[in-house]
Amino acid sequence: MKARIGWVVDAQNDFLLSPEQGGRLYVHDLFDDGEDAGATQAIPAIERAVEWMRARCEVMVYTGDWHSYADEEIDAVAPDPSRGTYPPHCMGLSDDAAEREGAQILASIRPEDPIVLARAATSEDARAAARRAVAERRPLFIHKSKFDVFEGNPSTDDLIRALREELKKPVEVFVAGVARDVCVKQAVEGMLAPQRALPVTLITDATWGLGIEKEEESLARWLASGAALMTTAGLAMRDS
């Protein structure tokens, strides 16, 4: 039997809360003239996915943008998502407490006492984090400077290798979170890449996109690359 890793992508206040609730980069279709109600619709499914992961996964990993104003992804003047730049969001390194709050994981699924893999973490930091996460059954929280977790925190690969060693058996990763066509895309495709070759199951209703790529196109590509697709209802049936 494989060891399960629950992987929750960027389920942060700035992405999941509407502007009226304080979200600074609310995930919704950017090209639909305001018709898409956005990621708030996915929150119940994300909560169900996290509940399932916590009960059935050996390790829980949360990732999150953890920005400073110096990051190349941040452009406060002329952001352009098509070029990979966005307004200030998830400012975990800001001096402003209100800005830092936007980087926090949504309260209903926030991990308790997580082991943080900081942006500047070393290989040894990653190995130590993996050891503690498995031994103490504590969640991990990867801070990243870019939407791609493998570029935004270079120690992510070391962490995954160490988790595989600590769990002492093959692993499979269950993925939920936002945004489907940005950070989730990079996580899923990074895990499927030949150098990692991780078995991935995307929990399809526990995610939401920006409209940069159509959902059916993303899912078809990931399916063709070897990922599995499942809904939260399918997860519940899987272990019933």
- Comparing 103-107, 124-128, 131-135, 208-212, the range with the smallest average pLDDT is 208-212
Which H helix or E strand runs over 160?
helix 156-167
In the sheet that holds 228-230, the strands lie side by side as 115-117, 140-144, 59-65, 3-9, 171-178, 200-208, 228-230
Residue 45 lies in a domain: yes
Q: Which pLDDT score is estimated for 30?
A: 86
How many domains does the chain contain in total? 1
Residue 40 lies in a domain: yes
Mind listing the pLDDT tens digit for each residue in 32-41?
A: 877 889 999 9
Strands 3-9 and 115-117: unpaired
| Residues counted in the chain | 240
- Report which residue type is found at 87: P
Residue 207 lies in a domain: yes
Residue 37 lies in a domain: yes
pTM for the complete prediction? 0.96
Taking the C-alpha atoms of residue 41 and residue 44, their distance in angstroms, rounded to an integer, is 7
Tell me, what CATH number does 43's domain have?
3.40.50.850
- Comparing 9-13, 76-80, 165-169, the range with the smallest average pLDDT is 76-80
Q: Domain limits at 82?
A: 6-238
Find out whether 148 and 142 touch, Cβ atoms under 8 Å: no
Mind listing the pLDDT tens digit for each residue in 47-104?
A: 999 999 999 999 999 999 999 999 999 999 999 877 889 899 999 999 999 999 999 9
Which residues is 229 bridged to in the sheet?
202
Residue 53 lies in a domain: yes
Asked whether residue 5 carries a pLDDT value surpassing 80, the answer given is yes
Q: Which pLDDT score is estimated for 117?
A: 98
Identify whether 107 is preceded by a cis peptide bond (ω within 30 of 0).
no
Residue 88 lies in a domain: yes
Helical ranges in 1-148 per DSSP H: 13-16, 43-56, 97-101, 123-136
Find out whether 201 and 228 touch, Cβ atoms under 8 Å: yes
Residue 1 lies in a domain: no
DSSP assignment letter at 104: S
Residue 156 lies in a domain: yes
